[in-house]
Chain A
């Protein structure tokens, strides 16, 4: 069934969009990531103009994440206090990221910068996650007694705060810095940042995997709302009909994903997310390296 998208000014198959929404929503619920890093390239692939794909993708991420967030909240897996600290950092970071984006634009290589950012960040994050989780899965057999978490320089920082849900008593500086850094990257890359936030919370902050997913969704909801608003006001590229169709599949997918996620072990969830992130990085790298089938592209002049 074909529908005409009023902002994208084109006609697409509604069932295809619902299907894409379901798949991405499912991953979103399973891994606690918004799925923006998958959705935006997929939408561009089916021919949606990239500004509309980015903006509507952020809006769909918002809806799918709300759905996932409620599911996680009900299970008591959201550390709202930690989420709040991350969010303050994230909002400030995305403001800085917009400035960085403007600078890259003046230099004239924003396309290249975004692609390289994607490959480097996704490649690193994915690689680290796969390595760590495989090691954890192997270690499960040889039962070595481990401490709850190790102490290093980070734990000597001031401004300590108790995060009861995460069972942590740490300085608020590291979570703030994590939020800031990821906020900056997500403004440049046009994604919610969940796929970077999840590993950062596990490996850097030492939070338990069960709480990480809900808390990540908490942050993604607000970042995606911020991006939707900025895009709607500055560029006018949010297509509500496109969002509606994606969400139709997305909300259902997120619920299935969330209930499936509770049945998977933490290490396995991380290994799968790592593999997914790594494969997106590889396909983007391939896109940069291979000779494009058509050297020329056209777009509206600004």
Chain B
């Protein structure tokens, strides 16, 4: 399917138009549906460049960010040298629930440090501001925890090149991916400068039963609670009826 999409793109962005646009990119889907059977999925980011991709020529960076939320990172400390309890904590505002970056080469090889920091290209350049404990270890711990959960992905696999002007990258979305709006940026880098960028977007939404349950739980908590109680009691009763003869 991806191959077909690439071919279509090539046809659409054919020789005449590629001259005008230095970079053309698209997503394989613009909506991800989270059903009760959802176990994670992946999107394809693909496109073509004006000039040949590779060392000395054009380079491509793909950046994706999910909806943000505040996060608290806590550190355990021993009390009386015996019991480990939650001690100091740092609160980070606006932490992206999903972060992905990949390039034909890692971003730090392609761009000057200042440029890279300004555009937030790479986990170490995320603009994370915290209140509470000051130690940089909290930020490092947040990076480690999020990377471990698969929600923050940096350069795990490079952007693939086909036929010197076509590129594609796989965007892995794990099962725990937060719902909401996602921004994808595709950057074209030439001689250590960003010469073109294209912004794309997709949505992650719960659908079907999963969505209805979450909606009712949020909008009608009393009815939902009552339903949960009735349901559990009914299941218990049903169990005792079924097993009486057994």
Give 12 A-B contacts (CB < 8 Å), ordered by A residue.
Answer: A2-B175, A4-B35, A6-B206, A6-B209, A68-B236, A228-B232, A232-B224, A232-B228, A233-B221, A240-B228, A288-B83, A295-B141
Minimum CB distance partner of B84 in chain A:
A292
Q: Which listed residue (A2, A4, A295) contacts B76, Cβ 8 A?
A: A295
CA distance A297 to B218 in the complex (A): 27
Q: Which listed residue (A111, A236, A247, A256) contacts B235, Cβ 8 A?
A: A247
Q: Which listed residue (B72, B209, B224, B240) contacts A71, Cβ 8 A?
A: B240
Given A4-B175, A6-B211, A299-B72: A62 in contact with B221 (beta carbons within 8 A): no
Query: Are B221 and A2 in contact (CB-based, < 8 A)?
Result: no
Given A4-B210, A300-B70: A112 in contact with B233 (beta carbons within 8 A): no
A109 located at the interface, meaning its Cβ lies under 8 Å from any Cβ of chain B in the complex: yes
Minimum CB distance partner of B146 in chain A:
A298
B138 located at the interface, meaning its Cβ lies under 8 Å from any Cβ of chain A in the complex: yes
B195-243: which have CB < 8 Å to A? 206, 209-211, 213-214, 217-218, 221-222, 224-229, 231-233, 235-240, 242-243
Query: Quick one: which of A70, A244, A254 has the most chain B CB within 10 A?
Result: A70
Chain A interface bracket (under 10, 10 to 19, 20 to 34, 35 or more): 35 or more
Given A10-B175, A255-B240: A236 in contact with B83 (beta carbons within 8 A): no
A172 located at the interface, meaning its Cβ lies under 8 Å from any Cβ of chain B in the complex: no
Q: Specify which chain A residues have a CB less than 8 angstroms from the CB of B225 in the assembled complex.
A: 228-229, 231-233, 238
B38 located at the interface, meaning its Cβ lies under 8 Å from any Cβ of chain A in the complex: yes
Q: Specify which chain A residues have a CB less than 8 angstroms from the CB of B227 in the assembled complex.
A: 240
- What is the CB-to-nearest-CB distance from A198 to chain B, in angstroms, rounded to a whole number? 19
Q: Which listed residue (A4, A109, A232, A298) contacts B34, Cβ 8 A?
A: A4
Q: Specify which chain A residues have a CB less than 8 angstroms from the CB of B176 in the assembled complex.
A: 9-11
Q: Specify which chain B residues have a CB less than 8 angstroms from the CB of A66 in the assembled complex.
A: 232-233, 235-237, 240
Q: A233-B222, A296-B73 are in contact. List 7 more A-B contacts (CB 8 A).
A: A4-B37, A111-B85, A236-B217, A254-B240, A294-B145, A298-B141, A298-B145
Query: Are A252 and B228 in contact (CB-based, < 8 A)?
Result: no
Query: Are B213 and A240 in contact (CB-based, < 8 A)?
Result: yes
Contact code string A235-252 (vs B, CB < 8 Å = 1, else 0): 010101101100110111
CA distance A256 to B175 in the complex (A): 35
A65 located at the interface, meaning its Cβ lies under 8 Å from any Cβ of chain B in the complex: yes
B17 located at the interface, meaning its Cβ lies under 8 Å from any Cβ of chain A in the complex: no
B118 located at the interface, meaning its Cβ lies under 8 Å from any Cβ of chain A in the complex: no
Contact code string A36-69 (vs B, CB < 8 Å = 1, else 0): 0000000000000000000000011011111111
Query: Are B221 and A296 in contact (CB-based, < 8 A)?
Result: no
B111 located at the interface, meaning its Cβ lies under 8 Å from any Cβ of chain A in the complex: no
Q: Specify which chain B residues have a CB less than 8 angstroms from the CB of A255 in the assembled complex.
A: 239-240, 243, 246
Query: Are A111 and B211 in contact (CB-based, < 8 A)?
Result: no
By a beta-carbon cutoff of 8 Å, the part of chain A in contact with chain B is 2-4, 6-7, 9-11, 59-60, 62-71, 74, 109, 111-112, 221, 225, 228-229, 231-233, 236, 238, 240-241, 243-244, 247-248, 250-252, 254-256, 288-292, 294-301
- What is the CB-to-nearest-CB distance from B154 to chain A, in angstroms, rounded to a whole number? 18
Q: Specify which chain A residues have a CB less than 8 angstroms from the CB of B232 in the assembled complex.
A: 59-60, 62-63, 66, 228, 243, 247
Minimum CB distance partner of B93 in chain A:
A301
Given A229-B225, A232-B221, A255-B239: A6 in contact with B231 (beta carbons within 8 A): no
Contact code string B69-100 (vs A, CB < 8 Å = 1, else 0): 11111111011001111100001100000000
Q: Which listed residue (B73, B146, B206, B244) contacts A297, Cβ 8 A?
A: B73
B191 located at the interface, meaning its Cβ lies under 8 Å from any Cβ of chain A in the complex: no
Q: Specify which chain B residues have a CB less than 8 angstroms from the CB of A294 in the assembled complex.
A: 145
Q: Specify which chain A residues have a CB less than 8 angstroms from the CB of B84 in the assembled complex.
A: 288-292
Query: Are A63 and B233 in contact (CB-based, < 8 A)?
Result: yes
- What is the CB-to-nearest-CB distance from B59 to chain A, in angstroms, rounded to a whole number? 34
Query: Quick one: which of B35, B141, B239, B244 has the most chain A CB within 10 A?
Result: B239
- What is the CB-to-nearest-CB distance from B19 to chain A, in angstroms, rounded to a whole number? 46
Query: Are A9 and B178 in contact (CB-based, < 8 A)?
Result: yes
Q: Specify which chain A residues have a CB less than 8 angstroms from the CB of B221 in the assembled complex.
A: 232-233, 236
- What is the CB-to-nearest-CB distance from B70 to chain A, in angstroms, rounded to a whole number? 4
Given A4-B39, A11-B38: A252 in contact with B222 (beta carbons within 8 A): no
Minimum CB distance partner of A71 in chain B:
B240
Query: Are B91 and A11 in contact (CB-based, < 8 A)?
Result: no
Query: Are A289 and B228 in contact (CB-based, < 8 A)?
Result: no
Q: Which listed residue (B36, B40, B229, B246) contacts A59, Cβ 8 A?
A: B229
B18 located at the interface, meaning its Cβ lies under 8 Å from any Cβ of chain A in the complex: no
Given A63-B232, A66-B232, A292-B84: A251 in contact with B73 (beta carbons within 8 A): no
B123 located at the interface, meaning its Cβ lies under 8 Å from any Cβ of chain A in the complex: no
Q: Specify which chain B residues have a CB less than 8 angstroms from the CB of A64 in the assembled complex.
A: 236
B10 located at the interface, meaning its Cβ lies under 8 Å from any Cβ of chain A in the complex: no
